């Protein structure tokens, strides 16, 4: 960009269908000073939402949502628990170099190596925080939905797209809250599995119960994903289904989202005690690192 005389931001994002357009808009907005009626209009992280929904009560709720995310996802580091592991995470050393933040422990460690004191720390640390975030964000999202509906109803000449945008944003918050609850249940399942039954193969009763609850949470989130797919801006078969590609991935970037693949994989990993990189792998590792091209 600089070589051709363009000195501004080059923005790459791949999550437009789930609100990532907010990131693009914000970067563009922060790239210059915006003057309205001769007055410099300052921007902040919620500028676009406050412009779209100029309602004081609703703006306060969006502010609360931002603070919840900032505290739980960033300051407490829960984002590392919510995100799927990067492709190298489950390989043995030295092939497991991190490409994104990871949880401070693995499933295998929690299942077979953690001490009672460490288990207590997990329960009172990330498990507690994940459940807190899920509960608080779920309640706040319900409130935002009611406030948004009321604002749109009383707004003259409100654009029909306001309802679509509001639905997309709250749906994203809901799915993230559900993922936090799902992850907390998986961690508790692993802890419950430490009390193994006699043959060591079947899930203990409590662990099975918790895993069923995690599955129910995933299916609830799946319904939200299917609803979101109805308003995708690009063809579903192109961005959210398996297909041939010139890249290392024979699927659209939202394919793992379409069936919550990584959520389901974690459930199956726990059920079958398989925590290696090749179990239910979505990745074509030879293609990703370019080995397959040597054989062509």
For 96-122, what is each residue's pLDDT tens digit? 988 888 999 999 999 999 999 999 999
Cβ atoms of 194 and 44 closer than 8 Å: no
Q: Is 148 exposed, middle or buried (0-12, 13-18, 19+ CB in 10 A)?
A: buried
pLDDT given for residue 89 in this prediction: 92
Judged against a pLDDT cut of 60, whether residue 199 lies above it is answered with no
Residue that the structure tokens 């993230």 belong to: 176
The overall average pLDDT reported for the chain is: 90
**Distance, CA of 62 to CA of 60 (rounded, Å):** 5
Q: Say whether pTM exceeds 0.85.
A: yes
Cβ atoms of 218 and 263 closer than 8 Å: yes
Q: Is 63 exposed, middle or buried (0-12, 13-18, 19+ CB in 10 A)?
A: middle
pLDDT, tens digit, 9 for 90 and up, residues 242-260: 999 888 899 999 999 999 9
pLDDT, tens digit, 9 for 90 and up, residues 62-75: 999 999 999 999 99
Question: Residue 264: what are its φ and ψ, rounded to 5°?
Answer: -60, -40
Q: Hey, which bits of the chain come out as E strands? A: 34-36, 39-41
Long-range contacts of 57-66 (CB under 8 A, 24+ apart): 57/147, 58/144, 58/147, 58/148, 58/151, 61/140, 61/143, 61/144, 61/147, 62/144, 64/140, 65/137, 65/140, 65/141, 65/144, 65/173
């Amino acid at each position: 960009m600089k070589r051709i005389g363009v000195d501004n931001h080059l923005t790459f994002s791949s999550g437009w269908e789930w609100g990532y357009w907010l990131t693009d808009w914000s970067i563009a907005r922060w790239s210059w000073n915006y003057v309205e009626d001769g007055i410099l209009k300052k921007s902040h992280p919620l500028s676009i939402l406050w412009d779209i929904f100029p309602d004081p009560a609703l703006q306060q709720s969006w502010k609360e949502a931002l603070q919840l995310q900032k505290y739980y996802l960033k300051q407490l580091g829960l984002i590392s628990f919510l995100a799927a592991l990067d492709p190298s995470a489950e390989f043995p050393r030295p092939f497991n170099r991190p490409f994104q933040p990871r949880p401070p422990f693995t499933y295998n460690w929690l299942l077979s190596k953690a001490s009672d004191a460490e288990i207590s720390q997990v329960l009172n640390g990330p498990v507690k925080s994940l459940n807190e975030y899920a509960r608080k964000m779920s309640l706040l999202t319900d409130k935002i939905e009611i406030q948004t509906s009321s604002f749109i109803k009383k707004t003259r000449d409100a654009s029909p797209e306001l309802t679509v945008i509001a639905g997309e944003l709250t749906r994203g918050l809901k799915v993230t809250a559900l993922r936090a609850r799902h992850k907390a249940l998986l961690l508790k399942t692993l802890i419950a599995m430490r009390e193994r039954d006699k043959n060591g193969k079947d899930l203990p009763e409590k662990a099975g119960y918790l895993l069923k609850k995690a599955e129910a949470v995933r299916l609830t989130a799946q319904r939200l994903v299917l609803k979101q797919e109805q308003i995708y801006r690009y063809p579903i078969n192109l961005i959210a289904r398996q297909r041939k590609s010139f890249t290392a991935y024979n699927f659209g970037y939202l394919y793992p989202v379409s069936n919550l693949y990584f959520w389901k994989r974690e459930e199956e990993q726990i059920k079958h005690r398989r925590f290696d990189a090749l179990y239910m792998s979505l990745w074509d590792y030879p293609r990703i690192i370019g080995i397959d091209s040597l054989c062509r």
